[in-house]
Amino acid sequence: MSAKSLARHAQKVETDKKIAEFYDENLSVKENLKILRENGVEVKKSKLYNYIKELNLPQKSIKEICKKTSSKYKHKIDNNAQTEKYFENERNDMHKTS
């Protein structure tokens, strides 16, 4: 490994440690970013998504995120859930016919 590669790796490890200190898997990415920034950890959304992906942490589905939303938007949430189910069924049908 070159010195530059080692430096980048060390920087990534340090950033990951800072994220791990404040990351809460029960919160959305947006909420986690807010908490990280409030605690002086400046990371971009893409870095947080990569962090989640590397640790194989589950990301919340649209339905789970929308559960927190006001009941005023319940019809939109239900429509999203139906749409997700429709496309899931379509994908399954395509795999069966292939």
On the CB side of 7, CA atoms within 13 Å amount to 3
With a cut of 80, say whether residue 38 has pLDDT above it: yes
Q: Are 49 and 28 in contact (CB under 8 A)?
A: no
Residue 54's pLDDT band (cuts 50, 70, 90): confident
Whether 15 and 47 have beta carbons less than 8 Å apart is answered as yes
Q: How confident is the model at residue 61 (pLDDT cuts 50, 70, 90)?
A: low
User: Of 52, 55, 1, which Cα lies nearest the Cα of 27?
Assistant: 52
Residue 75 has pLDDT above 60, yes or no: no
Which of 31-40, 41-50, 79-88 is the least confident region?
A: 79-88
